[in-house]
């Protein structure tokens, strides 16, 4: 079976949709034509998968237990059926939505358990590790950096050897980098020092922008003798600053 099912030709023009991957959809929606009333985005199972699972809300446990009762569809197939899905399908991994009927507003559900929603410890090297929710996708970038992302929150990690330099020297150098930043382009909105007994941790926060949006970034430095772990923590909403700082705090070294 092809991963994407072909869409029927439409007589009206619909704006194209970003290539987020395919949706897994109950056949009560696609064949019985019931509206989507419940949907969530879990960690994708493969590259072609968006992670989205869409249901009518009238599926029984027995119905869901049969794989033949769900199908894999292109996002536009569902958007053509229901335009309210267009913006929702752009939301992040780990989000859950529900509504009472097809004319009701969607609302976010915060107490629905997803299988991958738990904290794991990631071992970066023999010395370094940190903690992150298992919903984050792990990507190795072409330059060797590691990226963990859900879409609305991301952590980018680069590990540098600083041969011959002790932690105090590296720390002082990065304090100077923070203090001497050019404020005319991206002003510093917060400075941090979250150092522990074993790891020195200076950093700063700015707001960056791309073609579509602005977002917060905390540039966090984790320093021990002869090693630096540079971390960029990206988040769209100020309420997620606590998540970013907690994630930064979890970076630890066995040294």
pLDDT category at 6 given cuts 50, 70, 90 is: very low
Q: Which residues pair with 30 in a beta bridge?
A: none
| Total-model pTM | 0.87
Q: What is the DSSP letter of 41?
A: E
Cα(7)–Cα(5) distance, rounded to whole angstroms? 6
Query: In sequence order, which residues have a C-beta less than 8 Å from that of residue 44 and are 6 or more positions away?
Result: 21, 50, 51, 93, 137
Q: What integer is the mean pLDDT of 161-187?
A: 95
pLDDT of amino acid 13:
55
Name the superfamily (CATH) of residues 119-253.
Mog1/PsbP, alpha/beta/alpha sandwich (3.40.1000.10)
How many percent of the chain have pLDDT more than 90?
87
Mean pLDDT of 156-171: 95
211-253 pLDDT, tens per residue?
Answer: 878 999 999 999 999 999 999 999 999 999 999 999 999 999 9
For the chain, what are the domain ranges? Answer: 22-108, 119-253
CB atoms under 10 Å from CB of 244, counted, come to 23
Q: How far apart are CA 161 and CA 165, in angstroms?
A: 9
Residue in this structure with the two tokens 């630890």, named with its chain if needed: 252
> What does the pLDDT look like over 120-137, one tens digit per residue?
999 999 999 999 999 999
- Smallest CA-to-CA distance from 250 within 227, 225, 233, 226 is with 233
């Amino acid at each position: 079976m092809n991963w994407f099912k072909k869409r029927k030709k439409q007589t009206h023009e619909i704006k194209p949709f970003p290539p987020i991957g395919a949706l897994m959809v109950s056949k009560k929606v696609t064949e019985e034509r019931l509206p989507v009333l419940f949907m969530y985005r879990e960690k994708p199972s493969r590259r072609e998968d968006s992670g989205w699972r869409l249901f009518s809300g009238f599926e029984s446990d027995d119905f869901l237990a049969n794989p033949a009762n769900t199908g894999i569809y292109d996002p536009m197939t569902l958007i053509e059926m229901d335009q309210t899905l267009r913006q929702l399908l752009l939301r992040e991994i780990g989000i859950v939505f529900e509504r009472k009927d097809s004319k009701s507003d969607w609302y976010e559900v915060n107490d629905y358990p997803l299988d991958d929603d738990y904290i794991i410890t990631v071992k970066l090297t023999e010395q370094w590790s940190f903690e992150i929710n298992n919903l984050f996708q792990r990507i190795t970038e072409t330059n060797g950096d590691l990226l963990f992302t859900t879409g609305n929150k991301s952590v980018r990690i680069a590990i540098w050897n600083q041969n011959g330099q002790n932690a105090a020297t590296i720390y002082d150098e990065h304090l100077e980098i923070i203090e001497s930043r050019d404020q005319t382009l991206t002003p510093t909105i917060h400075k941090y020092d979250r150092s522990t007994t074993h790891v020195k941790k200076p950093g700063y926060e700015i707001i960056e922008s791309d073609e579509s949006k602005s977002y917060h970034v905390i540039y966090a430095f984790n320093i021990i003798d002869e090693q630096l772990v540079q971390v960029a923590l990206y988040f769209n909403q100020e309420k997620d600053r606590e998540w970013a700082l907690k994630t930064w705090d979890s970076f630890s070294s066995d040294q």
